Chains A and B, each alone.
Chain A
Amino acid sequence: MPKTPEKPIDLDGFFAAEKQAVNEPSTDFMARVLRDAEDIQDAFAPQAPSPKPKPIWEALIGAIGGWRSVAGLATATIVGVWIGVSPPESLDGLASFVWSEDAVSYAEYLPNYDYTLLEGQL
């Protein structure tokens, strides 16, 4: 009687069995890998950029007290120019007084510069 040909072996069955048998990586191993990742990441993390020198205009603004002072100065300048160009009526009397001889006579009552110097007040 002729021999029955042997069925080919089911390799896929062996592969499936092996897949189930292979161990999962341990939590310790995963923790070690993650620790390495974070250590290396810390080593090449971009360095904080060194502070740039401030531009000169920024230093000037800082010297006079910041942007609020600049705004105040600008307002005062505009108001001054406006008053100069178109003075309000209420200032007419004051202006004529300042330039009158009376104003000079009032100034006589003020201590002069030399006297103040002698008194050591400056």
Chain B
Amino acid sequence: MSNARATLSEVPEEELLVLYANGDRAAARALTELFAPKAFAFAQRLLSDRAEAEDVAQEAMLRLWKIAPEWRRGEAKVSTWLYQVTRNLCTDRLRKRRGVGLDEIAEPLSDAKSAEEVMQTEDRAKALQLAMETLPERQRAAIVLRHFEGLSNPEIADVLEISTEAVESLTARGKRALAKLLSGRRDELGYTDA
């Protein structure tokens, strides 16, 4: 698969989508290689479930394939659109899983105990994942997009359909919450500098 990506690596996202809509098989491969891992990683971090993340990412990519012939050039970045769709699909899954509206979920600090318990036996990554699960969905999405997907604040604002200032506020609150959750048991993690 890497050949398709190498030959089309210089082609902008939108051009790739146009090529795909015109029946170019190499563009289909290049888009798959470029976007499927992003959608999967984003979904996995929001859902903390590999199988569900694959289902969601596949569905998001399916929607991308279907919309390709009608894609309006210059209106949105393909990656932004894909993150939006992936996030919406994840939100639906989380709602079904929890049975309550995401915005109704309480702020996370009271759930710190579950993360602390796991820190005793799990590594930093697992501790962070668990801590992130306790964040409200929007905070979590903002942090994932900023710190794992490498998006800028304006790009995150596009994905979450909020202002840039709101993004800054979300990530700041999310990081404060994570720091509070994780700092309680830093000694148990064995990181004296943490």
| A residues adjacent to B (C-beta < 8 A) | 6-11, 13-15, 17-26, 29-30, 32-34, 36-38, 40-41, 44-46
> Contact between A40 and B125 (Cβ–Cβ < 8 Å)?
no
Tell me the B49-64 residues at the A interface (CB within 8 Å).
50, 54, 57-58, 61-62
Q: How many residues of B contact A (CB 8 A)?
A: 45
Given known contacts A19-B148, A36-B58, A40-B65, is B182 in contact with A9 (CB within 8 Å)? yes
> Contact between B124 and A14 (Cβ–Cβ < 8 Å)?
yes
> Contact between B54 and A9 (Cβ–Cβ < 8 Å)?
no
> Contact between B32 and A33 (Cβ–Cβ < 8 Å)?
yes
Chain B residues whose CB sits within 8 angstroms of the CB of A34 once the complex forms: 1, 28-29, 32
| Interface core residue of A8, A21, A22, A23 (most chain B CB under 10 Å) | A22
- Verify if B72 is at the interface (C-beta below 8 Å from A): no
Number of A-B residue pairs with CB-CB distance less than 8 Å in the complex they form: 107
Contact segment of B87-95, B99-107, B126-134 = B126-134
Residue of A22, A23, A29, A38 touching B36 (CB-CB under 8 A)? A29
> Contact between A24 and B194 (Cβ–Cβ < 8 Å)?
no
Contacts A11-B178, A46-B23 aside, 4 further interface pairs with beta carbons under 8 A come to A8-B179, A9-B179, A22-B41, A37-B61
Complex Cα distance, B126 from A21, in Å, reads: 8
- Verify if B161 is at the interface (C-beta below 8 Å from A): no
| Interface core residue of B123, B128, B183, B186 (most chain A CB under 10 Å) | B128
Interface of A is mostly: helix
Given known contacts A10-B193, A13-B191, A30-B1, is B148 in contact with A18 (CB within 8 Å)? yes
> Contact between B32 and A37 (Cβ–Cβ < 8 Å)?
yes
Tell me the B147-194 residues at the A interface (CB within 8 Å).
147-148, 175, 178-179, 182-183, 186, 191, 193-194
> Contact between A33 and B61 (Cβ–Cβ < 8 Å)?
yes
> Contact between B50 and A23 (Cβ–Cβ < 8 Å)?
yes
| Interface core residue of A18, A25, A33 (most chain B CB under 10 Å) | A33
Chain A residues whose CB sits within 8 angstroms of the CB of B36 once the complex forms: 25, 29-30, 33
* Sample of 16 A–B contacts (CB below 8 Å): A9-B182, A9-B194, A11-B182, A13-B191, A15-B147, A17-B123, A21-B123, A23-B44, A25-B36, A29-B36, A30-B36, A33-B57, A34-B28, A37-B20, A37-B28, A41-B23
Tell me the B12-41 residues at the A interface (CB within 8 Å).
20-23, 25, 28-29, 31-33, 36-37, 40-41
Chain A residues whose CB sits within 8 angstroms of the CB of B41 once the complex forms: 22, 25
Chain B residues whose CB sits within 8 angstroms of the CB of A36 once the complex forms: 58, 61-62, 65
- Minimum Cβ distance to chain A for residue B79 (Å): 15
